[in-house]
Amino acid sequence: MISVCIATYNGEKYLRQQLDSILSQIGKDDEVVISDDNSSDGTLALIQSYGDERLRVLHHDPTKITTTFPLDKPTHNFENALMHARGDVIFLADQDDIWLPGKVDRMLQALENADMAMHDCIIVDTELNTLETSYFDVVNATTNAWRNAVKSTVLGCCMAMRRCVLEAALPFPKTKIAHDLWLAMVADRKFRFALVWEPLLMYRKHGKSMTTAGKKSKYGLWFKLRYRLTILRHLLTI
């Protein structure tokens, strides 16, 4: 069974394209687990309009996350979805990307020889115009936990994993680490983590994206130093 885990927040504008691209590739016994962070737009109504039993919606309350770190709320929204995933293979998905045809089959093939795999993607703008043909080339992608702790090259929406990785990673640290980086570090330190050098997704970049992957970070030097020291401390606990 495949579980696709999505964290949503006011994602109505692009979510239908994403869900269509996912549902067309998974089976009738698979599931899409959506954890929503109190969306105030039409996100939940859009999901309900599908009438598809494969779509499971969970309600996550971001006000219960007491932190000033900007990535903590989406990280724990993803954790909520992952905690309720029932599949033997788990995919992560963002609310505004588009899966390219063949993504699921290619990643299942990669997981025959790995416990986690991350594929390349095409970086596009909001209108799906290509900005970069290879995310991996932009960030010099690696599976090495120590290198990613210093400067992360991982992208959760390009990940798929076996259940053993998820079980080892839960629960997530309470603060100051992105969900995809934590999962990647656990995978590299304890399991087999492979890169798939094929673009299997259109990764939409726009002003509301939380991640700075593929572009210059907006955060200051002091923030980045404190963040990396925290990441290294988390890595030492694995």
**One-letter amino acid for residue 126 of the chain:** T
pTM of this prediction exceeds 0.85: yes
Taking each helix axis from N to C terminus, what angle separates 179-190 and 221-236, rounded to the nearest 10 degrees? Answer: 40
The C-alpha torsion from 187 through 189 and 190 to 195, rounded to 10°, is 40
In order of their start, the domains of the chain are: 2-236 (3.90.550.10)
pLDDT in tens, the chain (238 residues): 999 999 999 999 999 999 999 999 999 999 999 999 999 999 999 999 999 999 999 999 888 777 767 788 899 999 999 999 999 999 999 999 999 999 999 999 999 999 999 999 999 999 999 999 999 999 999 999 999 999 999 999 999 999 999 999 999 998 889 999 999 999 999 999 999 999 999 999 986 444 445 445 566 777 778 888 889 999 999 9
